[in-house]
Structure 1
Amino acid sequence: MQYRQSKKFIKIIKWFTGLLVLLLISLFVLLYYETAVTDKADSYVYALPYATGTSHQVVQGYGGLFSHRHIAALDFEMPEGTPVYAARGGTIYSYRDNSDEGGLTGSYKNKANYIIIRHDDGSFGCYWHLQKNGVLVRKGRVDKGQRIGFSGATGQVVRPHLHFSVKTKLTYDKDSFVQTKFNTTKGICILKNRSSYERPAD
């Protein structure tokens, strides 16, 4: 009797171990595997969209499987209420800051607060998931490095972060996105997934 119980217990342990390994592999693929994105790259050097002297990690990079499949967008890990700065100057094109809803399911997708800045070359800088009443500039011109809002967790999110992308047109097509390079304390570079970057003094 005791022998049978031991065998059953060992089978259960093996089953749970296999399940845990499968979950860990799935999590690794989700966090680190990247799908192909556009080859289009902007020659402009952007400022990191947060305060000088601060550092944030890219928690989902270009082509990330979670929500960036085939798009050149970046998610910066950022606690709610962190000041957000314009990565490039331009004119306020559109904004929203009246939502206080956020969650994992697709029902929250259109409930994010955001700012869209139209750059002088006609491209658009998009700042997503801002907190409620978190837009500081609602019209007119903004300068590169100007504080424009506060990060949050509105829309379809797992945790608070800032979603940033540059587009040539306001669609979700792969080719509407543009790869961007930033000035960092590591030099001028295209940002990599799971890496942290500090914004240097202007």
Structure 2
Amino acid sequence: MKNQKLFYAIIIYLIIGVNSEILSQEKNITIVVKRNDDKSVDISYEKKLPGSYYLNLELINLTNSYSSGYNGVVDSYSGNLLSLKPVNTDNHINFSYKISYTMGNHKAKIDSLFTYMLPIKTGKKVKIQEASFLGEKYFGSEKPLNWKSYVIRTKEPDTIFAMRKGIVVKIVDDFTEDVTSGKVYTSKQNYVVIEHNDGSYASYSGLNKNTMFVKLGQTVYPQSKIGILERFGDDDYKLHFSIYQLFFVDLNRENQTLKSQKSALKYITPYFITKSAVGILENNSEYTSEITETVLFQEFSKREKKNYSKNPDAFK
């Protein structure tokens, strides 16, 4: 029974990877400094990856100008941050800087009543189970706020679908299928993270390598194909999925351990449309996936609705 419980556990900071930007800093965001003829300085950024990032730019040993630096959310691939004016126009402005950033917008206004579709084919019936948080039990880590994550197990390599319109902001497609008999847990899972318009995120974990239907920066819609499930253990296929937001910003995590690390994420208990009703999913209950035009078109633009009426397959 103990091993059976482990089947449904997730260590979220190993799977989702939202806060790993702080630790790995692979230069997703770079700073561009432009010195002008009038001795003013324009500071801008360039961002390689799609999605929203909270950015902190600290100016060090700034002379001949005044600025408190920059901290805020950047979501375009490039943009202006600061313009520095010289106090004495005969002298140059001098400074050094350091930056830190993490994925997400901690000030996003989340739509807690939004209706999602289940991440499986319309008409398919599945059992929904809630995942426990392994970090709390085995590492003494603090459980993320409002922790809620779901598990679907199937006997077939089902295709997984987007639950809501959004932008693909992270793809991990590194791990090959491991069918070790009796396996109860692994952090080496492929996954996709999608950012929604209100600043929330959806994660889809447990996908087979090289089966992704999406690319970074792509817009997906309800029922858009995400990927195909990977076999887990002897004969099961298992999907972990959850919806969450960045709750607070903590950019000083380098010396934190698994036990002391506090999650910056807040989890959302969403409403889902199923064949029976729209409501909150109950643990260990069976549901049949459903979709209606009302749910499908919740976030469609007028142009998207028009294009959908002409070619629905283009949105899958």
Given residue 161 of structure 2, which amino acid in structure 1 is its aligned partner? Y
Partner of 2:209: 132
Choose the corresponding residue for 1:61, options 125, 130, 141: 130
Q: Residue 230 of structure 2 aligns with which residue?
A: 152
What SS does structure 2 have at the residue aligned with 1:149? strand
1:169 touches 1:176 (CA, 8 Å); kept in 2?
A: yes
- Residue equivalent to 1:48: 118
Are positions 1:79 and 2:155 aligned together? yes
Q: Which runs of 5+ in 2 are unaligned?
A: 7-109, 138-142, 248-260, 293-316
Q: How much does 1:76 deviate?
A: 0.9
Q: Deviations over 1:129-180 (max 9, x none)?
A: 11111211113111112111111246x9994211010110399838521111
* Offset at residue 42 of structure 1 (A): 2.2
Percent of paired sites with the same residue:
24
2:281 aligned partner: 191
Shift of 1:184: 0.5
The structure-2 alpha-carbon separation of the partners of 1:157 and 1:141, relative to structure 1 and needing over 3 Å to count, comes to farther
Q: Contact conserved, 2:274 with 2:287, CA < 8 A, in 1?
A: yes
Cα 1:41–1:141 shift into 2, 3 Å? closer
Match of 1:163 among 236, 240, 251: 240
- Matched to 1:137, the amino acid is V
Equivalent-residue separation in structure 1 for 2:291 and 2:163 (angstroms): 14
* SS at 1:137 equivalent: coil
Amino acid at match of 1:151: L
Amino acid at match of 1:185: K
Rg (Cα) greater in structure = 2
Secondary structure of 2:198's partner?
Answer: coil
Q: TM-score if structure 2 supplies the norm length?
A: 0.45
Spell out the pairing of 1:14-25 with structure 2 (5 A cutoff): none
Contact 1:131 1:152 (C-alpha < 8 Å) held by counterparts: yes
Structure 1, 167-176 or 186-195: larger mean CA deviation: 167-176
Deviation at 1:27, TM superposition (A): 8.1
Alpha-carbon distance in 2 for matches of 1:157, 1:117? 30
Q: CA 1:158 to 1:43, structure 2 compared with 1: closer, same or farther past 3 Å?
A: farther
User: Contact 1:81–1:152 (CA<8 Å) still a contact in 2?
Assistant: yes
Judged with a 3 Å threshold, the aligned counterparts in structure 2 of structure 1 residues 141 and 67 are, in CA distance, closer, same or farther, namely same
Mapped contact 1:76–1:163 kept (Cα < 8 A): yes
Cα separation, partners in 2 of 1:192 and 1:97, compared to 1, 3 Å: same
Q: After superposition, give the CA deviation of every residue in 1:59-89 in whole Å (9 maximum; x if it has no partner).
A: x316x37789752000011235201000011
Distance of aligned partners of 1:172 and 1:157 in 2 relative to their CA distance in 1, 3 Å threshold: farther
Separation in 1, partners of 2:234, 2:263? 21
Letter in 1 for 2:209: K
